């Protein structure tokens, strides 16, 4: 199991050289990366220096690519020397497909962190990009059990975020710049340099939780206020042959360096990860590592009578006036003799009074009914709107 | 002349019938599982069968959403469900997840439309999804019509665009605020709409007690781009809103039906657009804008309303559930009192306005007031009698009281 991390300077590289098990560095250009701060020249220089130090330089191209951006970026990339990158890391499937066509020998690392929470989809990506796909970057919403299964079953290497910020929101829209410009005139926008505005956002009812939010030329991003941290829980994944653990320290940047202390961190992961967690710079969590229960409330949100809405469902209560009447709308033609029961929206069964009489709006009592007919009966206790009239029990 | 399809949402059978009556060519809806609206009524299998029969009888199509990003355990029963959908004649399914696409293709011959949740944004992605067996792309809402047209042309696959309704501020499928802050998977139907909430924004330089809704998007409308949709052969114009009312569904379908037909007939003019804008503003909305249909959405795309209450010049009073030569039977959504002015929206033509001076309960008892969710019988007022085109599933509205709206920006 190896580590990788983002770098932005030669000192970052030097620390990476001294970091045990760290064999790969991630380079983020302004042009291609959501949080990119490096110019083309800086990227090329750092890639060259990484190669000299026997580190694999990986070009990060993780922005999503609307057609206009795709055309523009692909045109600009014609002048780039992509051959010195060991791989290109992409998120947009269209970019991966473009690379497959135009750079069929370039290894691809595909980010499948959003969605792609099932084996079938992951196998699908492996098949589509079989010739050049060297790695899948898996989602931290997957529980450990599934991550282990996927590492064992997928035909390519897998990577997972070991520590770093949890991205919550990615919008291409500029949501901070003009606001901050309006409010205090602090920022001057220069399209030729990296725009990088940072703020925090807190819910009105949770004012002490500050979610880091930033804007770059590629849009606005919001992160959780706590870091993902699974570095002390890697044994199972190591046994399952997880290939790479990403150590994302970009938010801990100091003086332009984004891999601050990476050498010591890598050492501590191997020697004493529990202490590393205890002393981590920010609060940590791994919300879905043990289990993902993000659909557990859904069953309570579903209708209790959905199973009754079938061919046995004759009519529905539209309204009623307590002690006076109930109004039904029929769903299908039926006869009064077919009526057997009523079920409330809560799932409770109601007894149908024996003396019940169904009348149309003219007051005529009916024994047979047509579809979508409005019927009025005498009052039926508990027959609230949404109550169903059934011909048979379920 | 070729026309794009008008595609409307339906939460249940009633909305489906309303949408088709007001001119929708196709309806998208969800079944009990695999969709993105856990809270919607959603159609049972029996209701789906009925929906397909009704739609096909009225020359409309049915597309079923299977657009959640599934986990392995969610696949249980999917193949059987696909067989069922195929057997009842569903026209297409809407899917986001490659795994679901593969499962569908392995178990059925259903037509597959790629959901906007998959954020298909460029022609190379279009080519890829086409190779995966997708028949139609519902492209990301971040694209202009011209870009969508370019994707259609370059990738040789039909393209559908959202034309009207609420918008995600994030790239669709790329927002997990609900997942990590509320423990509800937004991409499996549990979005809690955190983007609509007010936030305190603070920088190191500036602390502030002010609240801002900086992530809440204004609503999309595409009425001024109808010609462009034609020009770029966008095959389907989609109205957002599976959770929305019959009022919204009926009125938006009516407006877009008129505009599409008028453009095709060469009769679309500025006056019609003005009327269309006024009509759409009668429905609750978050201040319309053109989204990214012409240029990428900018700063003015934020809806700065703190209260979260939508504006609209009219309110939904109810739905016509029956008519006779003498009276209209309304299912009320709001309370209603004698003497109020109402407007009945026929499927075609102008609204029928009138003051209600007699009101009866379902049993024919004369009343002065009826509460919300009642059935009201209203004797036809002169304009209604004269109009002669009031029908079941007409929506009825009344003027909103002016609301105080707090704007944060």
A309 reaches B (C-beta below 8 A): yes
Cα separation of A201 and B200, whole Å? Answer: 5
Cα separation of B151 and B171, whole Å? Answer: 18
Percentage of residues of chain A with pLDDT beyond 70: 95
A-interface mutation test, from B116, B146, B149, B203, most A Cβ less than 10 A away: B203
pLDDT digits (tens, 9 = 90+) for B118-142: 999 999 999 999 999 999 999 999 9
A172 reaches B (C-beta below 8 A): yes
Tell me the three state secondary structure of residue B91.
coil
CB contact under 8 A, A295 and B181: no
Residue of B nearest to A186 (CA): B205
Beta bridge partners of A375: A328
CB contact under 8 A, B122 and A302: no
B152 reaches A (C-beta below 8 A): no
> Which ranges of B62-155 would DSSP assign to H, the alpha helix?
78-88, 98-107, 123-131, 145-155
Q: Is the dihedral of CA A382, A383, A386, A392 positive or negative?
A: positive
In angstroms, what separates the C-alpha of B264 from chain A's closest C-alpha?
Answer: 28
* CATH homologous superfamily, domain B5-190+215-301: Aldolase class I (3.20.20.70)
Residue of B nearest to A324 (CA): B363
A-interface mutation test, from B68, B362, B374, B391, most A Cβ less than 10 A away: B362
Q: Write down the pLDDT at residue B153.
A: 98
DSSP B376: E
Same fold, B5-190+215-301 and B314-399: no
Ramachandran sector of residue B193 (left: φ over 0; alpha: ψ -120 to 50; beta: rest):
left
Helix (H) or strand (E) holding B384: helix B382-387
A-interface mutation test, from B122, B204, B298, B365, most A Cβ less than 10 A away: B122
Output the 3-class SS for chain A. Answer: CEEEEEECCHHHHHHHHCCCCEEEEEECECCCCCCCCECHHHHHHHHHHHHHCCCEEEEEECCCCCHHHHHHHHHHHCCCCHHHCCEEEECCHHHHHHHHHHCCCCCEEEECCCCCCCHHHHHHHHHHCCCCEEEEECCCCCCHHHHHHHHHHCCCEEEEEEEEEEEEEEECCCCCHHHHHHHHCCCCCCCCCCCCEEEEEEECCCCCCCEEEEEECCEEEEEEEEEEECCCCCHHHHHCCCCEEEECCHHHCECCECCCCHHHHHHHHHHCHHHHHHCCCCCEECCCCCCCCCCCCHHHHCCCCHHHCCCCEEEEEEEEECCCEEEEEECCCEEHHHCCEEECCCCCEECCCCCCCCECCCCCECCEECCCCEEEEECCCCCCCCCEEECCCC
Cα separation of A199 and A213, whole Å? Answer: 5
Residue A194 predicted with pLDDT over 90: no
Please enumerate in sequence order all residues whose Cβ is within 8 A of that of B176, keeping only pairs 6 or more positions apart, or say none.
Answer: A114, A141, A167, A168, A169, B186, B187
CB contact under 8 A, A306 and B44: yes
B302 reaches A (C-beta below 8 A): yes
Q: Write down the pLDDT at residue B99.
A: 97
CB-neighbour burial class of residue B19 (10 A; exposed 0-12, middle 13-18, buried 19+): buried
Q: Are the C-beta atoms of residues A173 and B291 closer than 8 Å to each other?
A: no
A348 reaches B (C-beta below 8 A): no
- Show the CA angle centred on residue B198, arms to residues B119 and A214, nearest 5°: 55
pLDDT bin (cut points 50, 70, 90) of residue A361 is very high
CB contact under 8 A, B72 and A171: no
Q: Which CATH number fits domain B314-399: 3.40.50.300, 3.90.1150.10, 2.40.160.20, 2.40.30.10?
A: 2.40.30.10
Contact list, A363 vs chain B (CB under 8 Å): 363-364
What phi, psi does A81 have (nearest 5°)? -95, 95
Low-confidence ranges of chain B (pLDDT < 50): 404-409
Of chain A residues 80-99, which have a CB less than 8 A from chain B? 92-98
Q: Write down the pLDDT at residue A394.
A: 45
Cα separation of A291 and A268, whole Å? Answer: 26
User: What are the domain boundaries of chain B?
Assistant: 5-190+215-301, 314-399
CB contact under 8 A, A201 and B101: no
Contact list, A303 vs chain B (CB under 8 Å): 41
Q: Write down the pLDDT at residue B40.
A: 56
Mean pLDDT across the stretch A199-221?
Answer: 92
Nearest by CB to B125, which of A94, A141, A295?
A94
**What domains, with CATH codes, occur in chain A?**
2-169+225-285 (3.20.20.70), 303-390 (2.40.30.10)
Q: Write down the pLDDT at residue B212.
A: 87
Nearest by CB to A199, which of B181, B202, B302?
B202
Cα separation of A352 and A383, whole Å? Answer: 10
Tell me the three state secondary structure of residue B104.
helix
CB contact under 8 A, B123 and A94: yes
pLDDT bin (cut points 50, 70, 90) of residue A338 is very high
Tell me the three state secondary structure of residue B369.
strand
Tokens 């989602």: give the residue.
Answer: A139
CB contact under 8 A, A179 and B409: yes
CB-neighbour burial class of residue B46 (10 A; exposed 0-12, middle 13-18, buried 19+): middle
What phi, psi does A298 have (nearest 5°)? -60, -35
Cα separation of B325 and B372, whole Å? Answer: 25
- Show the CA angle centred on residue B185, arms to residues B182 and B191, nearest 5°: 75
pLDDT digits (tens, 9 = 90+) for B47-83: 999 999 999 999 999 999 999 899 999 999 999 999 9
The count of CB pairs under 8 A between chains A and B is 276
B329 reaches A (C-beta below 8 A): yes
Please enumerate in sequence order all residues whose Cβ is within 8 A of that of A277, keeping only pairs 6 or more positions apart, or say none.
Answer: A229, A231, A232, A284
Contact list, A171 vs chain B (CB under 8 Å): 169-171, 215
pLDDT digits (tens, 9 = 90+) for A129-160: 999 999 999 999 999 999 999 999 999 999 99
What phi, psi does B170 have (nearest 5°)? -80, 165
Q: Are the C-beta atoms of residues B11 and B316 closer than 8 Å to each other?
A: no
Please enumerate in sequence order all residues whose Cβ is within 8 A of that of B236, keeping only pairs 6 or more positions apart, or say none.
Answer: B4, B5, B6, B7, B26, B136, B158, B160, B161
The contacts found for A296-304 with CB under 8 angstroms, 24 or more apart, are A296/B183, A297/B183, A297/B184, A297/B190, A298/B38, A298/B188, A298/B189, A298/B190, A301/B38, A301/B39, A302/B32, A302/B38, A303/A345, A303/B41, A304/A345, A304/A346, A304/A347
Q: What are the CA-CA distances from residue B218 to residues B2, B166, B289 (Å)? A: 31, 7, 7
Tell me the three state secondary structure of residue B229.
helix
CB contact under 8 A, B38 and A302: yes
CB contact under 8 A, B364 and A293: no
Cα separation of B407 and B308, whole Å? Answer: 10
CB contact under 8 A, A298 and B38: yes
Contact list, B47 vs chain A (CB under 8 Å): 309
Q: Are the C-beta atoms of residues A79 and A50 closer than 8 Å to each other?
A: no
Helix (H) or strand (E) holding B279: helix B270-281
Cα separation of A226 and A214, whole Å? Answer: 16
Residue A258 predicted with pLDDT over 60: yes
First to last CA, chain B: 44
Q: Write down the pLDDT at residue B185.
A: 84
B301 reaches A (C-beta below 8 A): yes
Of chain B residues 157-196, which have a CB less than 8 A from chain A? 169-171, 173-177, 179-181, 183-185, 187-190, 194-195
Q: Count CB-CB contacts under 10 A for residue B86.
A: 16
B54 reaches A (C-beta below 8 A): no
B325 reaches A (C-beta below 8 A): no
In angstroms, what separates the C-alpha of B236 from chain A's closest C-alpha?
Answer: 19
B245 reaches A (C-beta below 8 A): no
B102 reaches A (C-beta below 8 A): yes
B70 reaches A (C-beta below 8 A): yes
C-alpha closest to that of B375 among B384, B366, B363:
B363
In angstroms, what separates the C-alpha of A368 from chain B's closest C-alpha?
Answer: 18
CB contact under 8 A, A327 and B144: no
Nearest by CB to B173, which of A114, A309, A376?
A114
ipTM exceeding 0.85, yes/no: yes
The full length of chain A comes to 394
């Amino acid at each position: 199991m190896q580590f990788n991390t983002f770098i932005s300077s030669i000192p970052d590289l030097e620390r990476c050289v001294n970091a045990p098990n760290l064999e790969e560095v991630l380079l983020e250009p302004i042009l291609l990366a959501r949080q990119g701060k490096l110019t083309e020249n800086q990227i090329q220089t750092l890639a060259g220096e990484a190669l000299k130090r026997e580190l694999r330089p990986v070009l990060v191209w993780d922005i999503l690519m609307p057609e206009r951006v795709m055309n523009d970026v692909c045109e600009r990339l014609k002048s780039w020397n992509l051959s010195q990158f060991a791989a290109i890391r992409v998120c947009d499937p269209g970019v991966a497909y473009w690379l497959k066509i135009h750079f069929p020998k370039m290894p691809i690392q595909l980010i499948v962190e959003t969605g792609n929470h099932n084996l079938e989809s992951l196998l699908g990506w492996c098949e589509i990009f079989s010739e050049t796909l060297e790695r899948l970057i898996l989602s931290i919403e997957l529980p450990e059990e599934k991550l282990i299964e996927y590492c064992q079953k997928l035909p390519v290497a897998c990577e997972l975020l070991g520590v770093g910020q949890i991205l919550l929101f990615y919008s291409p829209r500029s949501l901070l710049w003009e606001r901050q410009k309006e409010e205090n005139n602090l920022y001057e926008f220069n399209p030729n340099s990296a725009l990088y505005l940072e703020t925090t956002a807190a819910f009105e009812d949770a004012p002490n939780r500050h979610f880091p939010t930033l804007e770059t030329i590629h849009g606005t991003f919001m992160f959780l206020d706590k870091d993902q941290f699974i570095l002390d829980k890697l044994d199972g994944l190591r046994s399952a042959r997880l290939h790479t653990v990403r150590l994302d320290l970009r938010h801990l940047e100091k003086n332009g360096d984004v891999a601050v202390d990476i050498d010591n961190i890598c050492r501590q992961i191997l020697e004493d990860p529990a202490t590393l967690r205890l002393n981590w710079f920010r609060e940590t969590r791994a919300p879905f590592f043990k289990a993902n229960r993000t659909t557990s409330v859904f069953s309570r949100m579903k209708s209790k009578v959905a199973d009754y809405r079938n061919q046995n469902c004759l009519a529905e209560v539209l309204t009623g006036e307590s002690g006076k009447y109930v109004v039904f709308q029929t769903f299908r033609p039926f006869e009064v003799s077919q009526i057997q029961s009523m079920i409330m929206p809560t799932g409770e069964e109601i007894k149908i009074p024996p003396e019940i009489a169904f009348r149309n709006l003219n007051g005529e009592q009916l024994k047979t009914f047509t579809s979508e007919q409005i019927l009025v009966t005498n009052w039926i206790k508990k027959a609230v709107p949404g109550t169903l009239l059934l011909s048979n029990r379920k | 002349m070729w026309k794009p399809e008008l595609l409307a949402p339906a939460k249940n059978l009633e909305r489906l019938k309303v949408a088709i009556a007001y001119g929708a060519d196709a309806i998208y809806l969800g079944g009990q599982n695999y969709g993105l609206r856990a809270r919607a009524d959603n159609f049972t299998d029996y209701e789906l069968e009925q929906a397909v029969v009704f739609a096909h009888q009225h020359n409309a199509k049915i597309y079923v959403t299977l657009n959640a990003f599934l986990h392995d355990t969610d696949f249980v029963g999917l193949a059987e469900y696909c067989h069922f959908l195929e057997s009842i004649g569903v026209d297409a399914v809407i899917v986001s997840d490659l795994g679901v696409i593969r499962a569908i293709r392995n178990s059925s011959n259903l037509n597959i439309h790629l959901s906007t949740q998959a954020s298909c944004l460029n022609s190379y992605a279009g080519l890829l999804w086409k190779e995966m067996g997708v028949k139609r792309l519902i492209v990301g809402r971040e694209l202009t019509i011209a870009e969508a047209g370019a994707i259609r042309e370059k990738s040789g696959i039909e393209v559908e665009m959202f034309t009207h309704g609420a918008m995600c501020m994030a790239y669709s499928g790329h927002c997990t605020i609900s997942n990590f802050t509320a423990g509800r998977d937004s991409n499996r139907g549990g979005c809690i709409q955190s983007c609509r909430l007010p936030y305190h924004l603070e920088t190191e330089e500036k602390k502030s007690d002010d609240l801002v809704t900086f992530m809440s998007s204004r609503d999309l409308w595409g009425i001024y781009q109808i010609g462009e949709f034609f020009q770029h052969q966008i095959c389907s114009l989609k109205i957002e809103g599976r959770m929305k009312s019959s009022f919204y569904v009926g009125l938006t379908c009516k407006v877009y039906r008129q505009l599409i037909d008028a453009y095709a007939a060469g009769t679309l003019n500025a006056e019609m657009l003005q009327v269309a804008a006024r009509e759409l503003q009668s429905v609750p909305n978050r201040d319309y804008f053109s989204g990214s249909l012409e240029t990428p959405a900018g700063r003015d795309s934020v809806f700065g309303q703190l209260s979260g209450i939508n504006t609209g010049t009219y309110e939904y009073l109810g739905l016509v559930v029956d008519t006779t030569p003498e009276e209209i039977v309304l299912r009320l959504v709001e309370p209603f009192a004698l003497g109020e002015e109402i407007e009945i929206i026929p499927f075609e033509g102008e609204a029928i306005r009138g003051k209600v001076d007699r009101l009866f309960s379902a049993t024919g008892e004369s009343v002065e007031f009826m509460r919300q969710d009642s059935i009201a019988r209203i004797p036809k007022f002169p304009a209604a009698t004269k109009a002669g085109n009031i029908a079941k599933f007409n929506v009825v509205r009344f003027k909103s009281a002016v609301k105080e709206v707090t704007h944060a920006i």
